[in-house]
Amino acid sequence: MSVYVVTGVSKGIGFEFLRQLSEDKDNLVIGLVRNKAATQKKAAAELGDRPNAHILHGDLTNYASLKEAAAETAKIVGDRGVDYLIANAGLVPDFDAYGPVSELADKVQEVDAGAAEVFQTNVTGQLHLFNLFVPLIKKGKAKKVIAISSGMADIDFVNQCEVDVGTIYAASKAALNMIVAKFNAEYKKDGILFLSISPGLVEVGRYVNVTPEQMNGMMGFVGKLSEYAPHFKGPITPEESVKAVRSVWEKASIEDGYGGGFISHLGNKQWV
């Protein structure tokens, strides 16, 4: 039996983590979300009765809620601790998602406000999450902390493919990767694996209600991906992504040099 804590399980990849991990009745899965009631309702409707799955309130922009979630988790897991902490929750802003960095020049207030929210969620919120749950990870057997990052944070990929969209989001994920490396630097000696994994380009319904202009920006990015990876046929499903990410983290270990690393769902630096 393994004990998992997964953030952001209300939808998309996070809900798929909840679904797959709780399929094994021997696993204990604790999901953290901002809207507990809505997620409990969704889980009941789509997953049925799974007594091994628990939903707790936990908001990366609210330290008190994370602290309370850690305390509640400790009560649920007891002396078993937590084997895996999956830092999946994150914020993907719309204001910079489809256009080049130059377009941000005329969005000063939006950029300043949006960047503050993005970095609080994707960087400092993750730092607090890790610090609060490390004591429980120390008690676990697997001792793995996985941060869901993005290939957009890879400087070589950005330069090679000339990816000029998603500037603030990419910067926040690059910062998250550094946070992961810093935690590895401190806790590697305790046998805790900290690792950033990109889930690939995943279809989660994000591009349904975009404008024609935004779609053009998105298609330009997709075109660059096709040049980068000729085998690329389009986004993968949450199910495919989660299965791949799980396979990567199961194989990864400190002994094999994965500590503090940043790799893809394919287990390397190929992002799609």
Say if residue 257 is exposed, middle or buried (CB neighbours under 10 Å; 0-12, 13-18, 19+). Answer: exposed
Out of 22, 150, 172, 241, pick the active-site residue: 150
Partner residues linked to 87 by β-bridges: 147
For 202, which DSSP code? B
89, 91, 72: which is closest to 30 by C-alpha? 72
* Helices (H), ranges, the chain: 12-23, 36-47, 63-77, 108-119, 125-139, 155-161, 167-187, 212-228, 238-251
Within 10 angstroms of residue 234's Cβ, the number of other Cβ atoms is 10
The single residue of 4, 84, 169, 258 carrying the catalytic annotation is: 169
Catalytic-role residue among 42, 143, 144, 173: 173
One-letter amino acid at 219 equals: M
173 is catalytic: yes
CB 117 within 8 A of CB 61: yes
Closest among 167, 164, 61 to 107, alpha carbons compared: 167
Residue 121 contacts residue 170 (beta carbons within 8 Å): no
84 catalytic residue (yes or no) = no
Other Cβ atoms closer than 10 A to 17? 28
Question: What six digits make up the tokens of 265?
Answer: 């769902």
Which positions are catalytic?
Answer: 150, 169, 173
